[in-house]
Amino acid sequence: MAVSVSGCFPVRYRGGQGFVWQGNSDVKARSCGDCGVSDLDAFRPCATYATVARFIPISGNLVHHAIEFYLKGALIDELDDRARRKFRHNLQKLWKRYKQQRRNPALDKFDETISDINKFERIRYPEEILRLGMLAEIGPVRNTFTPPPGHRQPKAARYRLVLDEVDELVKLIFQIENVNPTFFTQTLDEHAKRYLDHQNKFALS
């Protein structure tokens, strides 16, 4: 079955990876350096499974990778390889640039979401967990519980991951970039699709 596509998509090609932009009859391929990936659709089901299986902090690391790839892919026409590398893995700086370029007020809702996800970059390696400890709140919704008076929170770095917010953000990015989600999901097997849709209120398809 033919799948219509429009927008910027990560693909794998002989000799490397890159993005293909398809619009009308014009098709361009360009190298995408460190942000070119073809398995972008794998991050969400992997992150969901890691959350359900209580693999902490892997779920946060996977979501950080996913959002970084989405944003760098969306900005491929505005940023060359050198400019992308300057952002390194700093989601907040990348997010600020994306918002400046797209000027869509609906994105403002996710400032806190991006701030939360960005913190997981600190624990790409274990040294920070050993040095500062880790208090993680990971699940489908944001924890709004207020500790009773006199309750003392453990002294540790705090990390939050709210999958509902991540799913809503990803769907919005797809809509803004006019990307057909079927391009990413059509090759997933039944197990991946199960976790892609698990408790997902903002499914792409």
What are the tens digits of pLDDT across the range 149-162? 887 877 888 899 99
Q: Which domain holds residue 157?
A: 38-197
pLDDT tens profile 5-14:
333 344 333 3
Q: Does the residue 6 lie in any domain?
A: no
Q: Does the residue 143 lie in any domain?
A: yes
Q: Does the residue 31 lie in any domain?
A: no
- The number of C-alpha atoms within 13 Å of 181 and in the hemisphere containing its C-beta is 16
Q: Is pTM, for the whole model, over 0.95?
A: no
- What does the alpha-carbon distance between residue 181 and residue 58 come to, in Å, rounded to a whole number? 25
Mean pLDDT, residues 125-133 taken together = 86
126 to 114, 123, 129, 138: CA distances (angstroms)? 21, 6, 5, 18
205 or 3, greater pLDDT: 205
Q: Does the residue 205 lie in any domain?
A: no
pLDDT tens profile 42-94:
777 888 889 888 888 889 999 999 899 899 989 998 988 888 889 999 999 99
The closest of 19, 14, 13 to 32, measured between CA atoms, is 19
pLDDT at 195: 87
Mean pLDDT, residues 97-112 taken together = 97
Best-predicted range by mean pLDDT (115-124, 132-141, 196-205): 115-124
116 band by pLDDT with thresholds 50, 70 and 90: very high
96 band by pLDDT with thresholds 50, 70 and 90: very high
Number of domains the chain is built from: 1
Q: Does the residue 149 lie in any domain?
A: yes
Q: Does the residue 32 lie in any domain?
A: no
Question: Do the Cβ atoms of 83 and 132 come closer than 8 Å?
Answer: no
Q: Does the residue 19 lie in any domain?
A: no
Q: Does the residue 137 lie in any domain?
A: yes
